[in-house]
């Protein structure tokens, strides 16, 4: 788990995208949805969905590229 915490900082180069991924992860850990994050960030829900998807894709690409075994 400690390793996973560092993944956004390591694999996401855009600070706004990293912030979105972090906030969505925190919200989901509290059973809140993307619309909650969008309201808190004062942006549209689609912006949050796209940013989160791009960030998670960047993490997945980086993990595959570096040969990190997740499971």
User: pLDDT, tens digit, for every residue of 18-63?
Assistant: 999 999 999 999 999 999 999 999 999 999 999 999 999 999 999 9
Q: Which domain holds residue 34?
A: 2-66
What's the pTM?
0.88
pLDDT band at 2 (very low <50, low <70, confident <90, very high): confident
Does residue 12 lie in a domain region? yes
User: pLDDT, tens digit, for every residue of 53-70?
Assistant: 999 999 999 999 999 988
- Tally Cβ neighbours within 10 Å of residue 16: 13
Does residue 71 lie in a domain region? no
Does residue 21 lie in a domain region? yes
Does residue 54 lie in a domain region? yes
Does residue 49 lie in a domain region? yes
| Number of independent structural domains in the chain | 1
Tokens, residue 51: 């940013």
């Amino acid at each position: 788990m400690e390793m996973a915490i560092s993944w956004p900082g390591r694999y996401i180069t855009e600070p706004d995208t990293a912030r979105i991924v972090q906030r969505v992860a925190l919200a989901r850990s509290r059973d809140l949805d993307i619309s909650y994050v969008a309201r808190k960030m004062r942006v549209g829900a689609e912006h949050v969905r796209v940013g989160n998807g791009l960030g998670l894709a960047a993490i997945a690409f980086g993990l595959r590229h570096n040969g990190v075994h997740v499971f």
